Amino acid sequence: MQDENAFEELFRSYYQPLCHSANLLLNDIDEAEETVQQVFINLWEKRAEMQIEISVKSYLYKAVRNTALNKIKFDKVRSRYAEEQEMLAGTSEPATHLSSQNELQSLIKDAIESLPEQCRIIFKLSRFEEMKYSEIASHLGLSVKTIENQMGKALRIMREKLKDYLVIFLILFHSNWFI
């Protein structure tokens, strides 16, 4: 119980400033929020084995910065990959590529549909309706913290269900091809 209280206090104290810091790097508030949430999720999941040798504040800012920079690097790689694929493919795509896309799209939709109901609704509102967490909370009559927790849960479940396809999924998910 003490861990939960300390974590919640840490989250409340640093969430907004960390989002602001991440947004300075990413220039996208939703991506910034997702980055900060991922840092907090990792902190919570690895709390038992973690040994932070600097101040918690410094650790959090450094973790958010590194996660944001990794995101930027990933986006550049994805963009370069997409450009190369476009150049190689010309204007038409081979049937096998389309088949793979359809198969992956089906796997992703199945994974989304397998989420618990509240999780699935929140995930769809965030990803497909592009609603901010505060908008979702207001729309569903829930707290923003609940929305954050449900999105974290949804992302963990999706990662687990699609772990064999994660790299392809991330590339295509960020390009919004399956919407």
Cα–Cα distance measured from residue 83 to residue 98, given in angstroms and rounded to the nearest whole number: 17
Cα–Cα distance measured from residue 52 to residue 59, given in angstroms and rounded to the nearest whole number: 7
Is 174 or 150 the better-scoring residue by pLDDT?
Answer: 150
The answer to whether residue 18 scores a pLDDT higher than 90 is yes
**Which of 68, 58, 10, 81 minimizes the C-alpha distance to 38?**
68
Confidence band for 178, pLDDT divided at 50, 70 and 90: very low
Predicted model pTM: 0.47
Amino acid symbol at 76? K
Domains of the chain: 1-91 (1.10.1740.10), 93-179 (1.10.10.10)
Do residues 21 and 61 touch, judged by C-beta distance below 8 A?
yes
Do residues 10 and 56 touch, judged by C-beta distance below 8 A?
yes
